[in-house]
Amino acid sequence: MFKFYLFIIFAFSIFFYGIAVGHYEIFPFDLIQDLKLSVSENFENNQNDMLIYEENIDSLILINSENDVIDKRKALTNFIWNDQIPYSSTLLIDKNIIDERYQNISNLKSIYRLDIGMEYNINSIAYLFLPENSNNKLIIYHQGHGGDFVNGKDNIDFFLDQDYTVLAFSMPLLGMNNQPIIDLDHFGKIKFTNHKQLQFLESSDFSPVKFFIEPIGVSLNYLDENFDFDSYYMMGISGGGWTTVLFSAIDDRISQSYSVAGTYPIFMRSDSKNIGDYEQIIPELYRITNYLELYILSSYGDDRIHVQIFNNNDPCCFSGNISGIYDHKINERLIKLDKGNFFLYIDDTHNEHKISEYSRILISEYMNNKILEK
Q: Give yes or no: residues 105 and 150 share one domain.
A: yes
69 & 194 share domain: yes
Find, among 74, 127, 136, the residue nearest to 101 by Cα.
Answer: 127
C-alpha 133/C-alpha 262 separation (Å) is: 31
- The reply to whether 288 falls in a domain is yes
Domain count, the chain: 2
Asked if residue 222 and residue 84 are part of one domain, the reply reads yes
Structural domain that includes position 195: 61-367
Is 157 found in the same domain as 13? no
Query: What is the distance, to the nearest Å, from the Cα of residue 301 to the centroid of all Cα atoms in its chain?
Result: 21
pLDDT score, position 5: 52
Q: Is 172 found in the same domain as 116?
A: yes
Residues 6 or more apart whose CB falls under 8 angstroms from that of 72 comprise: 63, 288, 289, 293, 297
Same-domain check for residues 10 and 113: no
Q: Do 34 and 92 lie in a common domain?
A: no
Looking at the fold, whether 309 and 186 belong to one and the same domain comes out as: yes
Q: Are residues 34 and 113 in the same domain?
A: no
Helix spans in the chain (H): 2-24, 29-49, 66-81, 153-161, 210-226, 239-250, 283-288, 291-299, 327-337, 357-367
In SS3 terms, 293-357 reads as: HHHHHHHCCCCCEEEEEEECCCCCCCCCCCCCCCHHHHHHHHHHHCCCEEEEEEECCCCCCCCCH
The reply to whether 52 falls in a domain is no
Residues of the chain with pLDDT under 70: 1-54, 372-374
Q: Considering the entire predicted model, what is its pTM?
A: 0.86
By three-state DSSP, how is residue 182 classified? strand
Whether residue 45 lies inside any domain: the answer is no
Contact between residue 47 and residue 320 where contact means Cβ atoms under 8 Å apart: yes
Give me the amino acid identity at 183: D
Please tell me the distance from the alpha carbon of residue 288 to that of residue 246, in angstroms, as a whole number.
12
Residue 129 lies in a domain: yes
Per-residue pLDDT, 14: 58
pLDDT at 120: 98
CA distance 126 to 51: 37
Q: How far apart are CA 57 and CA 61, in angstroms?
A: 7
Q: For helices 239-250 and 66-81, give the axis angle rounded to 10 degrees.
A: 120
Q: How far is CA 327 from CA 69, 153, 291, 344, in A?
A: 18, 30, 12, 7
Check residue 370 and give its pLDDT: 74
Residue 50 domain-assigned? no
Residues 266, 352 within the same domain = yes
297 found inside a domain: yes
Q: What share of the chain is helix, strand, coil (3-state, %, to 5)?
A: 45, 20, 35
CATH of the domain at 202: 3.40.50.1820
Pick the closest to residue 353 from 313, 321, 323 (CA basis). 313
> Is residue 95 domain-resident?
yes
Let me know whether 33 and 100 are in one domain. Answer: no
Q: How far is CA 219 from CA 10, 76, 115, 121, in A?
A: 66, 20, 9, 18
In a domain, 51, yes or no: no
Instruction: For 304-337, write each residue's pLDDT tens digit.
Output: 999 999 999 999 999 999 999 999 999 999 999 9
pLDDT score for 26? 58
In this structure, are 34 and 121 located in the same domain?
no
